[in-house]
Structure 1
Amino acid sequence: MAGSRVAHATLKGPSVVKEICIGIVLGLAAGGLWKMHHWNEQRKVRQFYDLLEKGEISVIAEEE
Structure 2
Amino acid sequence: MAGSRVAHATLKGPSVVKELCIGLALGLAAGGLWKMYHWNEQRKVRQFYDLLEKGEISVVASEE
Paired-residue identity, %:
91
Name the TM-score, length of structure 2 as normaliser.
0.96
**How far is the alpha carbon of 1:26 from its aligned partner?**
0.3
Q: 2:2 aligns to what SS in structure 1?
A: coil
Runs of 4+ that moved beyond 6 A: none
Query: How many Å separate the matches in 1 of 2:61 and 2:6?
Result: 80
TM score, norm. by length of structure 1 = 0.96
RMSD (Å) for aligned C-alpha atoms:
0.6
Q: Which segments of 5 or more consecutive residues in structure 2 lack a partner in the other structure? A: none
Query: Once the 2 structures are TM-superposed, how far is the Cα of residue 40 of structure 1 from its aligned partner?
Result: 0.2
Q: Map of 1:8-47 to 2, 5 A cutoff?
A: 8-47=8-47
Equivalent residue pairs, number: 64
